A and B are shown apart, each in its own frame.
Chain A
Amino acid sequence: MKRNLTISVLVLFCFFFVNTSFAQNAPVKGKVTDANTSEPLIGVSVAVKGTTTGTQTDVNGAFTIQAPPAATLVFTYIGYTTLSLSVNNQSTLTVKLQPESKELQQVVVIGYGTQKKRDVTGAVASVNGDLLAKQPVQTATQALQGKVSGVQVLSSGQPNSAPILRIRGTGSVLAGANPLYVVDGVLTDDIRNINTNDILSLDVLKDASAAIYGVRGANGVVIITTKKGKSGPATVSYDATVGFRQVANPLQLANRAQYTDYLKDANPTADVNAPVTFPGTTDWLKVVSRTAFTTNHNVSVAGGGETNTYFISANYLDDQGVIKTNGFQRFTIRANNEINISKKLKFSEQISLSRGAEQTVNLNGIYGNIYRAAPIIPSIVDGKYGNTSAWGNVGNPLLQLDKANNFTLNNRVQGNVALDYKPISSLTFHSAFNTDVRFNNQKNYQYQFLADNSTFTVGGGNQYQNNSVLFVQNDDSYQYTWDNTVTFDKTFGKHHLTVLGGFVTEKNKSNFLNGSRQDVPANQDQWYLSLGNPDVNAKDDNGGGLFTRQSFVSRVNYGFEGKYLLSGSFRRDGSSKFNQHWGNFYTFGGGWVISEESFMKDNHLFDQLKLRASYGKLGNDNIDQALYIVTATSNLPYYFNNTLNLGSVIQDIKDLNLKWETTTQFDIGLDFAILNNRLSGEVDYYNKKVADALTKIPLPGILGDPDNTYITNAASYSNKGIELGLKWNDRINSKLSYSIGANISYNKNNVIGLNGGQALYDGGINSNTVTRTDNGQPIGSYYVLQATGVFQTAAEAATAPTNTFEANKVGGLKYADINHDGKIDANDRVYAGSYQPKYYGGFNFAINYTHFDLSADFTGNWGNKIYNGKKNSRGSENDNIEASYADSRFTTAKPSNTNPNVITASTPPSTYFIESGAYMRLNNLTLGYTLPSAMLKRANISKLRIFLTSQNLFTLKRYSGSSPELFNNDVNTGITAAGIDNTNYPVTRTFALGLNLQF
């Protein structure tokens, strides 16, 4: 931006000093205005084509220039499309300039540098920080949901959970499918420490342009740039929201009547009037959930002097969980400073401190149990818990919650110091030391309680904790990356060249120390290891990790007349995680700004039209360290003479030639703006192929590997897709403006080949698997029996193929005997869709009318399937069921050909449990009112806006469960078995009242 300004000024100087005149010249007068708003434009440069004659418009947008009657005048203005107009003997001209698309004017961050959006040859999406800060969510990426094509975001209602991002599909199974995050130069996998209000912009490198991050770029890169101050007086901002969250769409489970009716079939011998039961209905979700409060306060001060700028902020976020006891609080401070030591030398630092305190709950246990706990057992009566386990059921979820205290403290310092040296204007030496230091402290305490009458209304069962257990862990990690780059950036006539070269050194060190003891007193002040029993069940553990990377980076961007664009980057990466350290990664791309061509000058359709394409190779080394080194397991106990002896074994089989996964990606895209830039958009096609993907190859049992697998580079996956993003901006008058945006992405994920790797089964339900990752199918496809109905008569059940899972009986599910061998077994499974959506996207709408603003963001997906795991997963005959199933299940009185009579632990996974995952959600609705500035002037307030906002106001869905958005961030099952709804945290709805104040 600044550079262009300089160039313009230089051009103007030329006009002033080189003044040639012609005899026939006559003065031409005129006024230049904005084509849309008709507001005068100040400082537009006006030149006579083919000459050096030129001038500028004044404060009223007016100009006077000496020009021949047949001359052509050229009007150029930053942010507007250049206009050529012939004088045609006129002496007065009315000139309307079309604003250039903001999209194309935007500066995007492309890794180790920035570029104007219009010069970019790759698929890079850029989102303004203000847009993200608008939503009352902890982590910026959650607010990205539905906003950028090609980026799928999954979030959870659980406080402090990191949203899951999939950029252009799932590209890895074992090496992680999350993108790389770069926060002001710090490479990280976790941005939950970043205060969204501090974010200036968020840029997503979707295509091979991420190759500038080499071995870490394969899943795409999200670059976050935090705010800087601007020279001038201090601006103080205060932003706050206060609100509450509740469980959205709570799932209705069977009540007493429905449950006892079901038990007659599921467990006829159960005595529903046993002493452990009570006459009412317990709504277990209600028992453990609550309306949770959430607040967020943010203060920042920004400004600068002649030689420095500063931005300082503090943020406090308190996010209660809708599950009782669960919650998260975060405090962050940021200081970003830039100091110009001399004209050539600049020092800058960006640093953030964050402290997060989290009270977690054991989700798998509690949320799964809410679903299954019997409604005829009381939750708690006079301080004594209902005994669900004595009822032959899961443990009492409330008791589980009350008898555990899990507390985690995360402290993090993240930032950089950098020195920029500019010996000449076109050359910049940049050295930045980026670091990320974390100190975490975790304390988990399980209270002692017995399965007797002191705990329960009626004693018994298997829910007890005979001894209290304290677990304490301290861990820390230290990471630095040292970037050293040189950038050469110069315009030679019609040529614009940017060359980057440099090297990066990276080191990661981590360490943990933990211990657990039993019989530590229940008093919270005594939760220290030294107070536990030193002799029984006392465990201590200590370990660590260390890995390094070294890289050489380079990139060339070349533009000719702003029309023809070429770019290429090359990165040589070394990673200590492999025996063969080094690999090469590259990208090259080209762009053609068609709208700049002379033959397009007269077109009235396109204000902007650009064709771009890129191709490149990227890597993924995000795997455990030393996976290629054979190690021994030591300290294995055995007793001789009743004395402990420690043995060791060497048994893990490793691939000594392990290497990174490589991704090649081709992208072709078109950017356009039409109708006076009111409608702009981009469409992209991509084809991404991952080769040498890590896969677990099953090993023959004879080799004695404990898990009978080893990890090697064998698999290949592909993601192909089309993305479309559209934006409509219009300003009707000074009072009313509005915008509409929409984006949709289509992605087809496919396992090209496991190449010797065997199909990966995952998603265990009732000791069967639900998904299979195999050749020719999307990763994590459902692979289950095909349910064909329900047996209506005993005769029908008797003649059907033998079911090896459970006996055929009236009211039982019928399955297709796919291989026609006369029995229903694991060989009859079929592929039944995948959790990965074929289409996803969002649309948003914003309108400003006088002082009011209203915006709505929708997001959704379709073409994916959900496995209703909660329904299928049965621990005992006494597990509770969904109310809707209770009413629709097969009974002799009310036969059904869809829903079986009962679902037991033997009911195999089948298509019966698969449902459509299509949904559309009103992700955010915000109504704001900005107080008229006249009112505020007296109080020295420059801006005061109050707003009401709601997150997840409603969801249109077909899925019968609570939420179609299934959040699974497990490193393994999150990829190969996501989409099984089993133990998800309840999705929440937020209502908040907010305030933006600036003075």
Chain B
Amino acid sequence: MKKIYNKNLNIIAVCMLVLTATLSACKHYLDVNPQGKITQDDIAKDPNAAKALVTGIYNVFYIGGFDPDIDSFQFVIMTDIASDDADKGSSPDDYGDAKQIDNLQTSATNGVVNNVWTGHYQGVARANQALDKLQNAQFDAATKNALIGEAKFLRAYFYFNLVRLYGGVPLLDKVPLASEANQDKYQTRATADAIYAFIISDLDFAAANLPDKGATDVGRATKSAAQSLEAKVYLYMKNYQKAYDLSKAVMDGGKYSLVKDYSLIWRQRAINGDGGNNNSESIFEIQAGINKDCSAGINLYSVSQGPRAGGKFGWADLGFGFNNPSASLLAEYEANDVRKAATVISINAHGTVLWDGFRIPSQDSVQNSTYSYKAYHSRTAEDNCGGNTDRLPKQVRILRYADILLINAEAAFQLGRTGEASTDLTLVRTRAGLPSTGASLLTIWHERRMELAEEHDRFFDIVRQDAVMPGRAAAAFAAHGKTWAAKYALFPIPQTQIDLSGGRLKQNTGY
């Protein structure tokens, strides 16, 4: 009996071994899908995915800080700190790359220069991916073209920044296939003219297909936004007629008006219907909010520019202290210009009380003497996400009506319509509490500087003015204590990117 029992067991054992052999030789055992991830194929199959991909382009505005960046701290360094409007700020030795840029010593290996390059191309890539998937999306023509219009508007904005910062850059008009990515077509610089032409064609499409303000969600690109951006692009292209026509179209559209109180433009909430987020003069604005994981704000935008403790310390400060309005900027304000107090937080000997009642202690406990008021986001009177200061929901105003008025003024002046220029100027100056003045390039440019200070426009503007009136930049930077040279009109192409192209990207002259 026992023997039989053993024999049976042996047979069972052999059977088990054979069984395991057959079971585990399953053919698809090694085909495992990624867990918790949506693959590219899944996206392609989803008819609504294209819409989400367009939303995904807007989301790129939230990147930044010390990393790839579009409209955050790195961009602020290249536009404000680089200009005569601001000093680097923070403690003297903090952030060498920013210091280089502030001192007009930017090298091709500067990390900020690379971060802004890569950040903008991330935006371009997101736009191209969305445009790629929109081709086959199942929407009605109007919806589809509006979505394409949004993607093209955003792409145009990214390229407009790129061309102004670096000159001609590689032109990616679609998602390159893996096999194409290394082609000269993508790895070499297109001319600045080609980039401008591409921007114009994107904006033409956007202006023709986007619904206007009121006919679409607040925050989405509109027809007016496309026209406004295009007007600005034409100003840079010195095509004053187009700049005039497009800015005039926006003005005639009557959808925008100046906020009465200049200081309320950058507040989160309107006061008596004036100012606040998405106010009457806001044409395109980065939207932000409070979501559960506190990820719906621009990384470090506000906190990097916030007042910083120094000296005796002893208070809970508001930020890293970068981007301090410069002496040269302060000196250019006319007496009674309300914009000075709304643009600059001036630290004084007795403590400074901000609009929300926050008191910054006296100068001996503060690192710097001026800070940008436009980047300030109140911790008490405005929303934040559970104390998260990295992503304060500050909505950056990218295009606003005062800018359009000044673009119109300059274009009109260049076209000999001095009267219209003067009217535009008066609108802007009246709000600033200043009397009318005659229109000239110098008065218009003075107004642009005062009106748009610390709004990441100045560096581009002074370079543009220098192209119209040579010597402008040298004079401005001399007043700022820096020595200008023609090569600074463009930043260097990041050395990393030149290396990665195998030397096919050519450096700007002088670097």
Contact = CB atoms under 8 A, between A and B. Distances in A.
Nearest to B58: A638
Interface in A389-442: 389-392, 419, 421, 423, 429, 431
A518 interface: yes
B251 interface: no
Interface stretch (A140-148, A622-630, A933-941): A622-630
Contacts of A636: 55-56, 59, 295
A547 B186 CA distance: 37
A451, A629, A636: which has the most chain B beta carbons within 10 Å? Answer: A636
Contact of B24 (A421, A550, A906): A550
Interface in A611-655: 625-626, 629-634, 636-651
A902 to B, nearest CB: 11
A647 B54 contact: yes
A461 interface: yes
B289 A637 contact: yes
Contact of A647 (B39, B56, B181): B56
A630 B40 contact: yes
Contacts of A538: 292-293
A626 B100 CA distance: 41
A360 to B, nearest CB: 24
A576 B26 CA distance: 13
Interface stretch (B216-224, B234-242, B436-444): B216-224
Nearest to B130: A649
A708 B120 CA distance: 12
Contact of A505 (B24, B68, B310): B24
A466 interface: yes
Contact of A634 (B35, B38, B287): B38
B9 A345 contact: yes
A345 B292 contact: no
Contact of B313 (A391, A539, A633): A391
A419 B94 contact: no
A87 B8 CA distance: 56
A349 interface: no
Contacts of A476: none
A905 interface: yes
Interface stretch (B195-203, B338-346, B481-489, B497-505): B497-505
B140 interface: no
A632 B93 contact: no
A288 interface: no
Nearest to A549: B30
B496 A698 contact: yes
A630 B177 CA distance: 13
Given A537-B385, A550-B24, A704-B124, A431 B29 contact: no
Contacts of A458: 314
Contact of B35 (A419, A543, A826): A543
Interface stretch (A53-61, A268-276, A672-680, A961-969): A268-276
A546 interface: yes
B349 interface: no
B446 interface: no
A729 interface: no
A466 B380 CA distance: 13
B221 to A, nearest CB: 11
B293 A905 contact: no
B121 A650 contact: no
A546 B32 contact: yes
Interface in A143-178: none
Interface string B290-331: 111111100000000000011111111100000000000000
Interface in A253-299: 269, 271, 274, 276
B212 to A, nearest CB: 15
Nearest to A701: B118
Nearest to B124: A704
Interface string B55-78: 111111011000010000000000
Interface in A696-721: 698-706, 708
A685 interface: no
A431 B16 contact: yes
A345 B32 contact: no
Contact of A630 (B39, B121, B292): B39
Interface in A10-66: none
A384 B156 CA distance: 56
B459 interface: no
A503 to B, nearest CB: 7
A626 B42 CA distance: 15
B17 interface: yes
Given A392-B310, A642-B289, A704-B124, A421 B34 contact: no
A403 to B, nearest CB: 15
A701 B494 contact: yes
B47 to A, nearest CB: 14
A536 B385 contact: yes
B301 to A, nearest CB: 15
A345 B6 contact: yes
A451 B288 CA distance: 28
A631 B40 contact: yes
A462 interface: yes
A639 B219 contact: yes
Contacts of B53: 647-650
Contact of B312 (A271, A536, A645): A271
Given A537-B292, A701-B118, A701-B494, A651 B125 contact: yes
Contact of A804 (B14, B38, B96): B96
A805 B96 contact: yes
A461 B314 contact: yes
B122 interface: yes
A419 B387 CA distance: 60
A853 B76 CA distance: 71
Contacts of A703: 121, 125, 176, 181
Contact of B497 (A545, A700, A806): A700
Contacts of B55: 636, 638, 640, 645-648
B187 interface: yes
A303 interface: no
Interface in B4-19: 6, 9-10, 13-14, 16-17
Contacts of A503: 21, 24-25
Interface in A744-764: 758
Nearest to A634: B38
A649 B56 contact: yes
A467 B316 CA distance: 15
A973 B253 CA distance: 58
A825 B105 CA distance: 12
B157 interface: no
A892 interface: no
Contact of A640 (B220, B292, B295): B220
B60, B125, B178: residue with the most chain A Cβ atoms closer than 10 Å:
B125
Contacts of B170: 700, 702
B36 A467 contact: no
A639 B289 contact: yes
A640 B287 CA distance: 7
Contacts of B388: 537
A484 interface: yes
B114 interface: yes
A974 to B, nearest CB: 23
Interface string A565-583: 0000000001110000100
Nearest to A656: B178
Interface of B: 6, 9-10, 13-14, 16-17, 20-21, 24-25, 29-40, 42-43, 49, 52-60, 62-63, 68, 91, 93-97, 100, 105, 107, 109, 114, 117-118, 121-126, 128-129, 170, 172, 176, 178, 181, 186-187, 217-220, 287-296, 309-317, 385-388, 494, 496-497, 499-501
Per CB-CB distance, the 5 closest pairs between chain A and chain B, nearest first, are A704-B125, A647-B55, A626-B34, A537-B386, A647-B56
21 contacts: A342-B6, A345-B9, A419-B16, A421-B10, A421-B17, A536-B292, A537-B388, A542-B36, A548-B29, A549-B30, A629-B39, A631-B39, A638-B56, A642-B287, A644-B289, A647-B52, A701-B500, A702-B124, A704-B122, A704-B124, A804-B96
